Amino acid sequence: MRSNKAKNKNKTKTKGFLAIAAVTLVVIMASAIVYAIAIYGENPHVHNDSLIRFSVSTESGVIGFGELYRYLDNNHGVVLVLDTTEYNGIDAYRARLAFADEGVVVYIDMQTGEEIFREEGLALSADELMLVESRRDSADIAANTSNIAMFRTGSGPIGFGEMYRYLDSYHGTVLVLETATRNGIDAYRARLALGGEGVLIYIDIETGEEIFRQEGLVLNAGELRFAELRNNDAANIPIAHVPQVSNHGQFVVIIDPGHGGRAPGAVHGGVRESDLNLNITHRLLALIENNPNIRAYPTRTTDVGVGLWERAHFGNVHGDLFVSIHHNASYNRTAHGIETFFAHTHYDNNRSLTSRHFAYIMQGQLINNLGSFNRGVHTRRFAVLRYSRIPAVLLELGFMSNQNELARMRTDDFQQRAALAIYNGIVEALVVHGR
């Protein structure tokens, strides 16, 4: 008798638990339906047009992490989180951004580059707002084209995306970028493709200082192909708005004074590279103004920052030639002389004037006019070169880290002669170009 009562009591408890579970399930389902209606029906922050929808294709098919970071960071706000995930069975990137001081979450198809989900109007935490401010302060990366050491940001530790963008812009194609330790130091370990060879470097995450480098490594066929694809992909990445200009049928040269704004370039003896670059640019523009067959457009005329991709894209849209003016620096205080850089691109195929030919013309004119030590012509995958579809060169007019050379480069005589040498190089290139 007692046994049957216990059984009935247990049955009653079981039924009670099932009833509670059923009610709970109904409540959860109802909440989910209400939430779904709010998200997909009434919520004005989802899938509206206040943020440009992302859609980009590349020759290699898959969108690289660095490419996506760079695209979002340049065009859509501050990247707070970028990671890989899955959305409705699709391999995707998940990005959390700060846009106009609000949070945005976007899911992007890893294969096609198509945006597949977005949620806007999210609240940012105090830490995220602080990160946004620090990233704004350090948005323009002041890079030394000769080495990686002493890379800095206003926020302190170097973010993954910032490091990728820096390496990809100045030092070659990033094959591997990961965190590691070396001699007890938290570091980024990067393997790059540069000029057909591999480079391995370790960079202190906290200070941005290069702590180890190994060059001349052999790249395998897959790495070489990857580097080639990334070089071709660069031209397909959407760029910010480019100002409209009119050339009136003239031969158009884009003059690019390197650095500017919060990115002064090399700084030695109280002299900023960005100022030297701009001084020579103004002198060059004055010379070109007297030639009715040539029109010059500078990427900047004052001390402002201009994106690397915007510089190259401005030339692609409006120019026939692209000349980027820089001054060098090195840890070796005795390093001196002039060198000119160019990048191999498939756009050089089947045209009378290639970037390589243009580089040798420029180097010859600079050495003849300035009498400096000839450091030669070299290939580098600097962003403004590899993203250019027109013949493009980057000039290093001397070493600011060399006290004697810096004193000379500061003089009116040197700057005027440098401008004249560049002008003569442009005129010579115009003849080769058949104009």
Higher pLDDT, 403 or 232: 403
Find out whether 277 and 325 touch, Cβ atoms under 8 Å: yes
- The CATH superfamily holding the domain 251-433 is Zn-dependent exopeptidases (3.40.630.40)
pLDDT at 157: 56
pLDDT at 114: 76
Q: Long-range contact list for 80-89, CB < 8 A, 24+ apart?
A: 80/128, 80/131, 82/161, 84/110, 87/116, 87/117, 88/116
pLDDT at 76: 63
Query: What pTM does this model have?
Result: 0.52
The whole-angstrom separation of Cα 356 and Cα 362 is 10
pLDDT tens per residue across span 124-142: 887 777 766 655 544 333 3
pLDDT at 296: 93
Asked if the model's pLDDT at residue 147 lies above 50, the reply is no
Asked if the model's pLDDT at residue 340 lies above 70, the reply is yes
Asked if the model's pLDDT at residue 282 lies above 70, the reply is yes
Q: Long-range contact list for 136-139, CB < 8 A, 24+ apart?
A: 136/78, 137/262, 138/162, 138/262, 139/262, 139/305
Q: 65-127: which CATH topology?
A: Nuclear Transport Factor 2; Chain: A, (3.10.450)
Asked if the model's pLDDT at residue 111 lies above 60, the reply is yes
Name the most confidently modeled range: 137-146, 177-186, 314-323, 417-426. 417-426
pLDDT tens per residue across span 163-209: 776 776 666 778 877 778 888 888 888 888 876 788 888 888 777 77
Q: 138-236: which CATH topology?
A: Nuclear Transport Factor 2; Chain: A, (3.10.450)
Q: Which residues belong to CATH 3.10.450.40 in the chain?
A: 65-127, 138-236
Q: Which residues belong to CATH 3.40.630.40 in the chain?
A: 251-433
Which of 229-238, 381-390, 412-421 shows the lowest mean pLDDT across its residues? Answer: 229-238
